[in-house]
Amino acid sequence: MRERLTNWLARNEPLVAVLLVCLFFLLNLSIASRSAFGAWMDEPGYVDPGLNLASGKGWTTSMWPLQTDREFFAQQSPLFPGALSVWARVFGTSMVATRAYCYFLGAAGTFFFWRAAFQFKWLSPLIRLFWIVLLSTEARNNWMMRNGRYDVWIFAGLGLALLGASCRRPAWKYGFIFLGGFLGPAAGFVCVPYIFGMAVGICAITRFAWWKEAMMALVGAAVGVLAVFAFCAAAGFLGVFANALRSHSIVTATSSIQDKFNIFAYPQQDLGVELMIAALLVLTLAHWRTRTTASRRWMLLGWGVVIGVPAIMLARASFTTIYFYMVIIPLSLAILALFSLPERPAFWRIVFATVGGLLALTCATGLPARMFVTIREWKLRDPRIHDDFVKTYIRSNDLIFADYQFYYSLRDHVRFSMNGFYLPGIHADQAAQINVVCLPTNTYPNLDQDSSPLGLIGGGWKKVAVFPSEEMQKQLAGHYPISPVCVLYRRETATTSK
């Protein structure tokens, strides 16, 4: 039976891989309208410029600081919103269509990683297919594909670079590696120190056997950096982009030295990463006495990224769960490679069961757990809850300052909408026109009594409604919390009173 399955997979692995990638794309898509419930904090800022461009509003946004919606957007690399604008012209600007863009890129990146392993002949067919499952379901790697940020392009670029390294023809090999390196900074500069660190690490692990591939990846990344700078310079906003970079680097970080080194305690933020590190530890101990050249290299890769990636992320002065895919990709490959080695250490059955159980739990606590919670709370997460609230209390000629969760319901419903990130840079004349606010009570309490948190927007507010309603709050008890409560206020302005 096992031999038949092995032979069948050997013949049909590419087909099964495509089906698996498509399956996880569809599973993500199946809960796109409910998870996350409404937009989550970072999502509006990263998708808004692209959706505005697709809607004919120009390369602008009202979801970022430092610039107003009257200026050319230059606070992040252009690839993610630029490509999104093309996607949105075909599939629309809805929440589900926008999130499908990220799922598609995540699926493409996962396929690239599988194809690279296939062409390198790393792992067995069954383990290569399991790598697709692991990359698609691990909690933080899956969240990277779902969070509406540029990281999914970096993920796809890394997969493309590894795919290029597996190609035999020099044109394909170095072309794909260059493109993969280029896509990283074109999507987000956070990957630049990572690409450099991984290039150095790979050269060390392979004793410079891969130096040409590493150098080409660095060349691609360097050209990507220059291309982004040229793009911003041509638009006349290079200074704005440089300031945005500084604000997210160690140059302007105010955290203490102890806080910076707490970055190395990152595994406690994600059960999946903890489980994979435990699996790597078990395999390292199991293979320690019978170490071979291959096992040493995979151990070096695994432990190198566990320790090295947070060290690299000191350049950003933070290592949040959003960036854990930088560890998960090489760590998962190292674990599965050690698991697949032909050498069988002592107590192999115990090792097999332990590592298999840890990896199964890693998968189960990610996408399957998210789907379980989402389906259990399906009615409570209905996007029409936001839509109905907006249609009931907000008019099409309103100018509104609202919590990020209302982003998709508002963007095509009102004249203007903004979130809290935009508040520090808003112009006085624009602030005076804001006539509706719908904000969380933990940050903006009792605005009808004290409007000072609103800055230039000022006061004169009357409480109109609460979201969620008292009835819905009762239904949410013990379930996914829509917290904190948001209060909608309205006032008369010179614009709306006409």
pLDDT in tens, 3-37: 787 788 888 999 999 999 999 999 999 999 999 88
Eight-class DSSP state of 237: -
Max mean pLDDT among 56-65, 216-225, 316-325 falls in: 216-225
Collapsed DSSP state (helix, strand, coil) of residue 400: strand
d(CA 153, CA 307) in angstroms, rounded, equals 24
* Phi then psi dihedrals of residue 318, to 5 deg: -160, 155
pTM of the model: 0.94
Which strand ranges, in their side-by-side order, compose the sheet holding 416-418?
416-418, 399-402, 436-440, 486-490, 462-467
Amino acid 479: pLDDT: 62
Eight-class DSSP state of 315: G
> What is the arithmetic mean of pLDDT over 291-299?
93
Amino acid 477: pLDDT: 67
> Could you tell me the residue ranges of all domains in the chain?
2-373, 384-490
Tell me which of 317 and 338 has the higher pLDDT.
338
Collapsed DSSP state (helix, strand, coil) of residue 319: coil
Contacts with 352 (C-beta within 8 Å, 6 or more apart), sequence order = none
pLDDT in tens, 385-408: 999 999 999 999 999 999 999 999
Give 253's pLDDT tier (boundaries 50, 70, 90). Answer: low
d(CA 5, CA 29) in angstroms, rounded, equals 30
Amino acid 498: pLDDT: 45
User: Does the structure show a pLDDT above 80 at 457?
Assistant: yes
- Label residues 118-131 b or e (16+ Cβ within 10 Å = b): beeebbbbeebbbb
> What is the arithmetic mean of pLDDT over 456-474?
88
CB 272 within 8 Å of CB 365: yes
d(CA 493, CA 457) in angstroms, rounded, equals 11
Long-range contacts of 254-260 (CB under 8 A, 24+ apart): 255/317, 255/318, 260/314, 260/317
CB 192 within 8 Å of CB 184: yes
Collapsed DSSP state (helix, strand, coil) of residue 464: strand
d(CA 74, CA 131) in angstroms, rounded, equals 37
d(CA 384, CA 80) in angstroms, rounded, equals 27
* Phi then psi dihedrals of residue 439, to 5 deg: -135, 155
Eight-class DSSP state of 149: S
Collapsed DSSP state (helix, strand, coil) of residue 325: helix
C-alpha distances out from residue 401 to 59, 237, 417, 446, Å: 20, 26, 6, 15
- The secondary element (H helix, E strand) that includes residue 372 is helix 367-376
- Beta strands 416-418 and 462-467, pairing class: unpaired
How many Cα atoms occupy the beta-carbon half-sphere of 27 within 13 Å?
20
Dihedral sign from CA coordinates of 86, 92, 98, 100: negative
User: Does the structure show a pLDDT above 90 at 251?
Assistant: no
User: Nearest to residue 37, comparing CAs of 364, 377, 322?
Assistant: 377
User: Which class for 198: exposed (0-12), middle (13-18), buried (19 or more C-beta within 10 A)?
Assistant: buried
Contacts with 59 (C-beta within 8 Å, 6 or more apart), sequence order = 49, 52, 53, 72, 73, 81
CB 159 within 8 Å of CB 177: no
Amino acid 496: pLDDT: 52
- The secondary element (H helix, E strand) that includes residue 462 is strand 462-467
d(CA 322, CA 381) in angstroms, rounded, equals 23
Contacts with 170 (C-beta within 8 Å, 6 or more apart), sequence order = none
CB 154 within 8 Å of CB 352: no
CB 292 within 8 Å of CB 344: no
Eight-class DSSP state of 160: H
Look-up: residue for tokens 């806080």? 259
pLDDT in tens, 105-160: 999 999 999 999 999 999 999 999 999 999 999 999 999 999 999 999 999 999 99
Amino acid 62: pLDDT: 94
CB 200 within 8 Å of CB 207: no
d(CA 183, CA 289) in angstroms, rounded, equals 41
Q: Left (φ > 0), alpha (ψ -120 to 50) or beta: where does 107 sit?
A: alpha
d(CA 464, CA 367) in angstroms, rounded, equals 38
d(CA 133, CA 381) in angstroms, rounded, equals 26
Eight-class DSSP state of 153: H
Q: What is the mean pLDDT of the chain?
A: 92
d(CA 153, CA 169) in angstroms, rounded, equals 25
